[in-house]
């Protein structure tokens, strides 16, 4: 079973008005999806975002954005530099790979020795 985590790439406090409570304490956060498994760790290219109000704790969805929020979002989205998508194998993967190669090589050796008799 693999676990998925949204790791924070960038977090910024913005001073735009909240459409719900009209306070100026908004937080913009960019996340990147990472998948962890027993055999590998995968960094995906999927980047998501979230704008939350610190006062009323409501999530501000793109439907409710004002032009000012859109401008600030566009600015910060250009600043975000996600990690390159990659796959890193764990030591368990390499141990199982080496053991399986040794078993195949040993089986092939004994099979060839049996044919030569």
Residue spans of the chain under pLDDT 70 = none
The structure's pTM equals: 0.76
Report the pLDDT value the prediction gives residue 87, as an integer from 0 to 100. 92
Report the pLDDT value the prediction gives residue 24, as an integer from 0 to 100. 86
Report the pLDDT value the prediction gives residue 65, as an integer from 0 to 100. 87
| Rounded-to-integer distance, Cα 53 and Cα 46, Å | 24
| Rounded-to-integer distance, Cα 106 and Cα 113, Å | 11
Report the pLDDT value the prediction gives residue 41, as an integer from 0 to 100. 92
Report the pLDDT value the prediction gives residue 73, as an integer from 0 to 100. 92
Report the pLDDT value the prediction gives residue 56, as an integer from 0 to 100. 87
C-alpha closest to that of 52 among 72, 26, 74: 26
Report the pLDDT value the prediction gives residue 99, as an integer from 0 to 100. 96
Q: Residue 69 in contact with residue 51, Cβ under 8 Å?
A: yes
Q: Which residues, at least 6 apart from 8, have a Cβ–Cβ distance to it below 8 Å? A: 29, 30, 31
Report the pLDDT value the prediction gives residue 16, as an integer from 0 to 100. 86
């Amino acid at each position: 079973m693999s676990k998925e985590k949204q790791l924070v790439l960038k977090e910024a406090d913005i001073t735009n008005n909240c459409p719900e409570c009209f306070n100026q304490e908004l937080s913009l956060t960019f996340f990147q999806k990472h998948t962890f498994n027993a055999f590998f760790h995968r960094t995906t290219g999927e980047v998501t975002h979230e704008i939350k109000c610190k006062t009323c704790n409501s999530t501000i969805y793109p439907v409710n954005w004002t032009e000012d929020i859109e401008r600030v979002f566009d600015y910060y989205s250009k600043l975000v530099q996600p990690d390159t998508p990659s796959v890193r194998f764990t030591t368990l993967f390499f141990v199982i790979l080496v053991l399986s190669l040794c078993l195949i090589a040993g089986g092939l050796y004994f099979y060839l020795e049996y044919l030569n008799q």
